[in-house]
Chains A and B, each alone.
Chain A
């Protein structure tokens, strides 16, 4: 079974509007971490936001927020006020277990395209 599932291969959003990128995960661990990364065409992985499994509040970082629904095992990324520079691939990833050095498992990614 896939550990991280991103069901939207591609998404369009109008500039200045908000967009939600979906991510569901599967783990039997009680302690885990969820990450979102942005990958522009240059290939670098840009860290956006992190949510720990024990965090009670949804994580926010500027225009990025994470809609964490633990019971549903979903960790959707919300980007507010989309900008043209937001056009990129977005990956959801999970670290299982408490150890910050454990490997990350990535979802298949969503390509976001922002329309002017």
Chain B
């Protein structure tokens, strides 16, 4: 079935450094990728939507200069958290548009980011 490989599954970084999270669609072309953030015991909140070859669309309140999204190919989308701070510690999960499976959405396995 459709698979989105998300790496790393967990990462600990120092405050002020940047972290890159990758989501790769393994057996289909992901023209659209959705990036979500989930704080502990809360729901998934959409951060941004990225389309291959174009700039991402960010949700209100999400800093586009802090959360850089690149979707340069049909199989790879990346989220870079720049100058990370402890309040950025969260669970980040991507979801690819996949018209062939799961009624349109295939999720990555998520990345747990801890900023110390």
Q: Are A101 and B104 in contact (CB under 8 A)?
A: yes
By the criterion CB–CB under 8 Å, are A108 and B42 in contact? Answer: yes
Least CB distance, A109 to chain B, in whole angstroms: 5
* Contact A104 B95, CB 8 Å, known A44-B110, A45-B107, A95-B104: yes
B49 interface residue (CB < 8 Å to A): yes
Say yes or no: A100-B93 contact (C-beta < 8 A), given A43-B110, A47-B105.
Answer: no
Q: What is the CA–CA distance of A65 and B112 in the complex, to the nearest angstrom?
A: 31
Closest partner residue, chain A, to B110 (CB atom): A43
Q: How many of A's residues come within 8 Å of B, CB to CB?
A: 19
In the complex, whether A25 has a CB less than 8 A from a CB of chain B is: no
Q: Which residues of A contact B95 (CB under 8 A)?
A: 45, 104
User: Is B18 an interface residue when CB atoms closer than 8 A count as contact?
Assistant: no
A43 with B112: CB separation less than 8 A: yes
Interface residues of B in 1-60 (CB under 8 A from A): 31-32, 34, 38, 42-46, 49
A35 touches B103 (CB 8 A): yes
B31: A residues at CB distance < 8 A: 101
Rounded to whole angstroms, the CA-CA distance of A92 and B84 in the bound complex is 31
Partner of A109, one of B43, B91, B105: B43
* Cβ distance A43 to chain B, nearest Cβ, rounded Å: 4
Interface residues of B (CB under 8 A from A): 31-32, 34, 38, 42-46, 49, 91, 93, 95, 97, 99, 102-105, 107, 109-110, 112
Q: Which residues of A contact B (CB under 8 A)?
A: 33, 35, 42-45, 47, 50, 91, 95, 100-101, 103-109
Given contacts A42-B109, A101-B97, 6 further A-B contacts (CB under 8 A): A45-B93, A100-B103, A103-B34, A104-B34, A106-B45, A109-B42
